[in-house]
Structure 1
Amino acid sequence: MGKHKAIFMGKKVRKIYKFEHNNFLSKYSCWFDNENENQFVDWVEIYKCELDSPPLKEGEEIYIKELDETLYILDRLRSSDGQYIYSTDYIVEIIEDEFTKKSKEEANKKLNKYIEELKIFHKNEIETYRDEIQKFKEKIREKDELIIRLKEKNEDIVRYNWNSINTKKWYQFWKMN
């Protein structure tokens, strides 16, 4: 089994801030995404060695003991001198620069705008509920007044009945004598 020279490349990426929201999810994050080309900055050599042939294929993984890392092979190129150059998912460096600063400012602007929109939305919602609560209190007050009037009527009826019964008894007593 033959051997071949291998160079493993890692990524230098840019830190990006982002704020996203929709009806179901709001997310503020500081992130970098290996698949997003706007955040990729450069390839950096991370390890050289000789490997047994056949060469690794895209999608394979290899453990590099000296780095104590398992690398995922994204791409494989063969150079004119017979070496294989493996592009991996390994992130060597995360840089922060002017683009990072601008992305953070933009994310914060979007976040603050979203917060203001929420305040306005909830303020309107609160006012709507406040009006409904006021109407509810008014109905309760009207019902309380009705209950008081009904109690008074009931007391009047009870008094009337009591007087009627007493008058009837008195009349019967008087008639019998």
Structure 2
Amino acid sequence: MATWEDLDLSSSKDEDEKAYLCWMADTTSEDEDDQDVKFNNLVYLQIAYQELLSNSSTFSLRYKELKIKFSKLSKDFESLEKENSILKKENEKLKEEQTNDLSKVNTYEITELQKEVIDLRQSLAKFLNGREPLSWYLDSRCSHHMIGKELKHNLLSINQLCDNGYDVPFNKGECIVRVIMIL
């Protein structure tokens, strides 16, 4: 093929000859690399988009499952809170009832035992007739068979108290009857 220079020199030869031009693009390797990178990026982005689309449907299903589970757990929690509140109130009522019952029982038993102590002191005082100190009989460690008929029922009623779970200690000038509580 002839170039412009060739045509200029040979203009005299063939003027009928036509010149054909061919445009060539001058590209560098950087331009080609950019196109490859853009194409690779496009492929990568398409793959990533497909993965995200797949993951989003999986996450959407899992989200719905968890939302249902959360709703159920919330309802269970609310019902347990209500039940807990009711049980706390019932527990407080039972504590109050128990305290009231114990105070009534204890008050009644204490009153009865105090009356019994007074009766025992009076009976013991009658037995002694005020002639000798009470400590002599208490400290002599004599049993009822050693004292004789004068004692009558007093020692038996003290003995009966001891047999029925009461503690009856004697001190100088007094006799105390206590309930022995076994927990």
Higher Rg: 2
TM-score normalized with structure 2 length: 0.39
The structure whose residues are more often strand, as a share, is 1
TM-score normalized with structure 1 length: 0.40
The structure whose residues are more often helix, as a share, is 2
Which structure would you say has the larger RCO, counting Cα contacts within 8 Å and 6 or more residues apart?
Answer: 1
